Amino acid sequence: MRRALVLSALVAVLPGALAAQGGLSVQGFGYPTGQLGTGSLALGGALAEVDPSSAINPAAVGLSSRFSIYMQLEPEFRRTTVNGASDKSTTIRFPGFLVTGGVRRFAASISATTFLDRTWRNVYSDSQLVGGTMVPSTLLASSNGAITDTRVAASYWINPKVQVGLGVHALVGENRTEFGRSFPDTTGIGSVTQFTTISYSGRAVSAGVVYFPVKSVSVGASLRQGGHLEARQDDAALAKANVPDRMGLSIAYTGIPNTTLAARYEHTSWSEMKGLGTAQMSVFDANDLGLGMEVVGPKVAGAPSFARLGVRSRTLPFGANGDQVSERAVSGGIAIPFARGRAQADLTLQRATRSGAGASEKAWFLSIGLGIRP
Amino acid sequence: MTWRLLRAPALLVFPLALLAGACTERLETADGCPLLCPGQTLEIRDTILDPAYVFDTTLAPFPITGAESPLLLVSRGDTLDVRPIFRFDTLARVFTPVGDTARPVTMVDSVTLTVRLIRTPLKVPQTFFVDAYDVTDTSLVDSLPSTLIPLFTAGRLLGSKQIDSATFLDTMTVQIPLDTAMVRAIVTSPNAPLRIGLRLRSTESGAFYVASNEDLTDAFRPRLRYRVSPDTVIAAANISPRSGSPVTPLHVAGDYNDYTLVADAPDIRRATTFAIGGLSAARTYMRFDLPRFLTDSTAVLRASLELVQDPVYGLDEADSVVIRPQMVLAGHAITDLNRAARLLAREGTFVTDSLRVAPGDSGIVSLEINGLFRAWRKDSGLPDIPSAIVLRSDNEGFSGFGARFFGMNAAPALRPRLKVSYVLNIKFGQP
């Protein structure tokens, strides 16, 4: 079991795996996964600010003071349509790994979650003007890697109604890119290929609160203040910017027996990353709105199971052809305890639609989360 | 009961996780591009280097004298006349009868020279003769055409063999009977060598390859044979070509065991041009002095060496000859360009393009040599070598075909040019 956990941990901190470019969601520095746990994803992200499995609000860490490990697997099946032509692609991500534990009023967490996944591969044929002659050519461009948000967070129960938390973030990662053009042998034209690695390092701090004003209402709010974010290309300084600031607010209502209704709003100042890209990169601040409902199901092995539904609407930070990309999603899922309540399996299915720059994209997410409380 | 109902879905999570993890990832897409694929354009620049290089010269002969295999035997009227020479500088002058002691050869009989003829693309003449001449001259310069050609006289004719095309298939082993008295006189003279030149005689044009002493099949190599005794129990002398000169430099004499004498051939070289092929076959050596940024700081996509062909008339001008560029591997220390032109990268390495031209063609032809730019980078891993290539013919030494091109000293409109398309900097990675 211990070996399995170690392997899972290694897998979980890997950046997002392979995907395809030519997609709306992987523009710029990549796709923002949202750093949501599988359960929160099923509720459209609505419970994220009070979810200890989502590495967002450091105050929420204390909601799971018992030692626990949480990991996720999240394949995405995507179809991008441009001018009537469609491309299918499949991405498999391991977007999160968290370890949480606490003593008395204190709780702490260490997590590694995918901040921006920039993994894609793109091969297509076109023509290129070489020496005054148009010649057929094949272009290959790919990027593999991600920026990972590594967070150390601690929370403290001030009183039974208020819990506060503080997080320190290190944003690290790299994109290994390849760009090449090749020509048919018959042309005699040599091919060109460039391999380069862009590495990132940045820091941020976050603070949050979880507040229970009345018995049936819980409120979670958090802020992230971004510090410097630096990109280096093949070990040479490339660009500097800031980690985007973020603020989010979740409100959950549990006044209906066995039911939780939740809503969340998040705003991220992605434009603070503008200086990290070229002048051609378009970047927008983004809003994220989620609504969700969780219903307690029958007890399994002494612990409750859950059924979840959610909707989500957000904008993505990196534009396509200068246009901002919007994403709407409908999701549902279940959570089933096992091992006498010492573990829980979350399963979420999300249907997302994105649009922008005259293109559209539809995607199925299957998110599988496994929480263990030994 | 409830747990039982939910146990199956709970357990389903794990196979689902495995299934998701085992999904085949689809990587390569195209339809979203170029709309959704920014930053993937490639800025290609063009430049012309004129003249293309800083030095050219025509070098000959190739192969070097004595390294030809097979040899050539050609008679094409007053256009081409090529004759193989065989040196028998070591002859059997002593023999040992069975059960007796060694004694000197005093009798020479049944003398033959055996050679293997191989047909060439040229039609075999209806009837032709292979004449063998004694071309012995012990002077140190006896390999020079001017020395050897006058020795092909009737008085030096050792023997002749008539062959009809009907009896000649693709190859034929020919035994030329030689004059016994003439050979006996040489064998019985102490240390006298015998050097035989073959000449093709016919009313039609003819050309044959002759297996050389380096032929892989021992039975095909040339042999001089003569009986040294009337007693048939005593084996006949069977002698391979062997040259005793030149004495210096060392190890060169072996090259002259047999070699090709070009008695008459059109000289395809001309001022302000360079030549490739012909007989004796020529190679052209070109040295470039490329701007350092082109080799070290750019990716060269295309480098077309444009040559203007100068037609060569008179010999198979409509047939084709293949010309290949090969990179010179000889370092700066080798100043003998004839030697440098033999130290070449393997054919097809760095440069795969070639030219197929007819000697009588004219106009612009182009050779793609972009692979050389990578080889000539400072950090290519190759030793420090001059940026040089050699142009050589595929039929080098086997054919009289040759081609000629205007060189760097020709008029500006005619001299070689190098058209280069390159990428200065790929700006990819930063979105």
Residue B289: how many other CB atoms lie within 10 Å: 11
DSSP 8-state code for residue B375: H
Residue B3 has pLDDT above 60, yes or no: no
Task: State the CB neighbour count (10 A cutoff) for residue B379.
Answer: 7
Lowest mean pLDDT among A17-21, A359-363, B253-257, B329-333: A17-21
Q: Which residues contact B373 (CB under 8 A, 6 or more apart)?
A: B290, B294, B295, B300, B303
pLDDT recorded at residue A357: 86
- The three-point CA angle A98-A325-A29 to 5° equals 50
CB contact under 8 A, B38 and A139: no
Q: 């979650």: which residue's tokens?
A: A113
**How many angstroms away from the CA of B60 is the closest CA of chain A?**
30
User: A122–B40: do the CB atoms touch at under 8 Å?
Assistant: yes
Residue B19's pLDDT is 64
Query: From the list B13, B26, B37, which residue is nearest A347 (CB)?
Result: B13
Subunit contact A88:B428, Cβ cutoff 8 A: no
Nearest CA in chain B to A82: B32
pLDDT band, very low/low/confident/very high, at B17 (cuts 50, 70, 90):
low
Are B368 and A188 in contact by the 8 Å Cβ rule? The answer is yes
What is the rounded distance in angstroms from the CA atom of residue A351 to the CA atom of residue A363? Answer: 6
The contacts of residue A331 (CB under 8 Å, 6+ apart) are A41, A42, A43, A44, A308, A309, A310, A311, A312, A348, A349, A350, A351, A365
The answer to whether residues B89 and B187 touch, using CB atoms and an 8 Å cutoff, is: no
B214 touches B66 (CB < 8 A): no
Question: B184-235 pLDDT, tens per residue?
Answer: 999 999 989 999 999 999 999 999 999 999 998 999 999 999 999 988 889 9
Cβ neighbours of B131 (radius 10 Å)? 18
A8 in contact with chain B, both atoms CB, cutoff 8 A:
no
Cβ neighbours of B139 (radius 10 Å): 9
**B99 token code pair:** 């059960």
What span, in angstroms and rounded, lies between the C-alpha atoms of A248 and A221?
6
Chain A partners within 8 Å of B34 (Cβ): 126
Nearest to B42 among A175, A181, A239 (CB): A181
Strands B28-29 and A120-130, how do they pair? parallel
> Whole-number mean pLDDT of chain B?
89
Between CA B408 and CA B286 the distance in angstroms is 10
Of B10, B39, B302, the CB nearest to A345: B10
| Residue B285, C-beta contacts closer than 8 angstroms, at least 6 positions apart | B55, B56, B57, B58, B59, B328, B337, B340, B341, B388, B389, B390
Which domains does chain A carry?
2-372 (2.40.160.60)
Name chain A contacts of B42, Cβ cutoff 8 Å.
128, 181, 192
pLDDT at B27 over 60: no
pLDDT tens-digit profile of A189-207? 888 888 999 999 999 999 9
Q: Are the beta carbons of B27 and A142 separated by less than 8 Å?
A: yes
Cβ of A22 within 8 Å of Cβ of B29? The answer is: yes
Cβ-Cβ contacts under 8 Å, A85 against chain B: 31
Q: How far apart are CA A341 and CA A305, in angstroms?
A: 10
Taking contacts as CB-CB distances below 8 angstroms, the residues of chain A near B304 are 131
Residues B354-383: tens digit of each pLDDT: 999 999 999 999 999 999 998 898 877 777
How many residue pairs from chains A and B have C-beta atoms closer than 8 A? 205
Nearest CA in chain B to A355: B36
CA gap A365, A374 in Å, rounded: 29
Predicted local confidence at residue A6, as pLDDT: 34
Name chain B contacts of A139, Cβ cutoff 8 Å: 33, 40
Chain B environment of A131 (Cβ under 8 Å): 46, 302, 304, 419, 421
Check residue B298 and report its DSSP letter: S
Judge residue A316's burial from the number of C-beta atoms within 10 Å of its C-beta, 0-12 exposed, 13-18 middle, 19 or more buried: buried
Does residue B423 have a pLDDT over 60?
A: yes
Please count the residues of chain B: 431
| CA atoms of A100 and A337, how far apart (whole Å) | 18
Q: pLDDT tens for residues B205-218?
A: 999 999 999 998 99
Half-sphere exposure of A178 (CA within 13 A, CB side): 13
Model pTM? 0.74
- The b-or-e profile of A103-119 (16+ CB within 10 A means b, else e) is eeeebbbebbbbbbbbb
Kindly report the number of other CB atoms within 10 A of residue A233's CB atom: 16
* Top-ranked range on mean pLDDT: pick from A60-74, A166-180, B40-54, B248-262: A166-180
Is the Cβ of A85 closer than 8 Å to some Cβ of chain B?
Answer: yes
What's the sign of the alpha-carbon dihedral A45, A46, A49, A53?
A: negative
- Name the residue with higher pLDDT: B11 or B299: B299
Q: How confident is the model at residue B430 (pLDDT cuts 50, 70, 90)?
A: confident
Confidence of residue B94 (pLDDT cuts 50, 70, 90): very high
SS (H, E, C) chain A: CHHHHHHHHHHHCCCCCCCCCCCCCCCCCCECCCCCCHHHHHCCCCCHHHCCCCCCCHHHHHHHCCCEEEEEEEEEEEEEEECCEEEEEEEEECCEEEEEEEECCEEEEEEEEEEEECCEEEEEEEEEEECCEEEEEEEEEEEEEEEEEEEEEEEEEEECCEEEEEEEEEEEEEEEEEEEEECCHHHCCCCEEEEEEEEEEEEEEEEEEEEEEECCEEEEEEEEEEEEEEEEECCEEEEEEECCCEEEEEEEECCCCCEEEEEEEEEECHHHHHHHCCCCCCECCEEEEEEEEEEEEEEECCEEEEEEEEEEEEECCECECCECCEEEEEEEEEEEEECCCCEEEEEEEEEEEEEECCEEEEEEEEEEEEEECC
Average pLDDT over every residue of B296-324 = 90
- Chain B residues with beta carbon closer than 8 angstroms to that of A365: none
**In the predicted structure, residue B51 carries a pLDDT above the cut 80:** yes
Q: Which residues of chain A have pLDDT under 50?
A: 1-20
Task: Identify the pLDDT of residue B13.
Answer: 60
Alpha helices in B283-430 (DSSP H): 292-296, 337-340, 370-375
Quote the CA–CA distance of B208 and B222 in Å, as a whole number. Answer: 15
**DSSP state string for B237-273:** EEE--B-----SSTT-GGGGGEEEEEEE------TTE
pLDDT in the model for residue B21:
59
pLDDT score of A108: 95
Is residue A343 a contact partner of residue A54, using CB atoms and an 8 Å limit? Answer: no
Residue B118 near residue B170, CB atoms below 8 Å: yes
The answer for A 42-81 residues in CB contact with B (under 8 A) is 73, 75, 77, 80
- CB-based burial of residue B262 (10 Å sphere; 0-12 exposed, 13-18 middle, 19+ buried)? buried
Of the partner residues A91, A122, A130, the one whose CB lies closest to the CB of residue B33: A122
Q: What is the pLDDT of residue A14?
A: 31
Contact between residue B380 and residue B373 where contact means Cβ atoms under 8 Å apart: no
Q: What does the angle CA A161 – CA A163 – CA A168 come to, to the nearest 5 degrees?
A: 170
A contact residues 256-275, partner B, Cβ 8 Å cutoff: none
Q: Are B165 and B197 in contact (CB under 8 A)?
A: no
Contacts of A176 in chain B (CB under 8 A): none
Spatial distance between the Cα atoms of B377 and B137, rounded to a whole number of angstroms: 52
Give the pLDDT of residue B33: 78
Q: Concatenated DSSP letters for B134-194?
A: E----STTTTSHHHHGGG--GGGEEEEEEEEGGG--SEEEEEEE--HHHHHHHHTSTT--E
Q: Are B178 and B132 in contact (CB under 8 A)?
A: yes
Portion of chain B with pLDDT greater than 90, in percent: 63
Chain A from 9 to 28: CB within 8 A of any B CB: 17-24, 27-28
Cα distance from A310 to chain B (closest Cα, Å)?
20
